[in-house]
Homo-oligomer: A and B are copies of this chain.
Amino acid sequence: MATKTVVTEKRYRIGEFATKTGLSGPTLRYYEKEGLVKPHRSDNGLRYYTDADASWIKFLLHLKGTGMTIEQLKQYVAWRAEGDATITKRLQLLKNVRRGFLQEFEELQHSMTILNDKIDWYQGKVDGHISDNEGFANYLASLNHEE
């Protein structure tokens, strides 16, 4: 009789998983304490994570990247655990997050413009294109940005 081979999903212990996700071990434990991720335990009591857990963490980090706080993520995860009944709540939460994010995004673009102008101005001074005593306000006025 041939040996039966059970294909088991890869198990990552916390150290390897930390490397994989770019988080630290303590941060993973912290996220777990906050209920954001639920690793599994091997028979010996050590945590292990799977590739599915990695996808989940990545998704969470993207949400976090859009400005969601840990508290908001906890709310989202709590609703998710409640099942389909909370789908509209989750959708609403994500839409609110997107609204805030878009707003922030516009401000970022404006700041980027200002930063670029300032860099150009300094570059001009360094390269001698801008007279020694032309101020930045002056220079800005010479561009056509609204403020």
A interface list, Cβ under 8 A from B: 55, 59, 62-63, 65-66, 84, 87-88, 90-91, 94-95, 97-98, 101, 105, 107-108, 110-112, 114-116, 118-119, 122-123, 125-126, 132, 136-137
Contacts and interface: CB of A to CB of B under 8 A. Distances in A.
A79 to B, nearest CB: 11
Contacts of A126: 87-88, 91
B91 A123 contact: yes
A66 B110 CA distance: 10
A61 to B, nearest CB: 8
3 closest A-B pairs by beta carbon, nearest first, are A65-B111, A91-B122, A62-B114
Contacts of A111: 62-63, 65-66
A125 B94 CA distance: 14
Contacts of A88: 126
Nearest to A122: B91
Contact of A105 (B59, B66, B108): B108
Given A87-B126, A123-B91, A115 B66 contact: yes
A85 to B, nearest CB: 12
Nearest to A68: B115
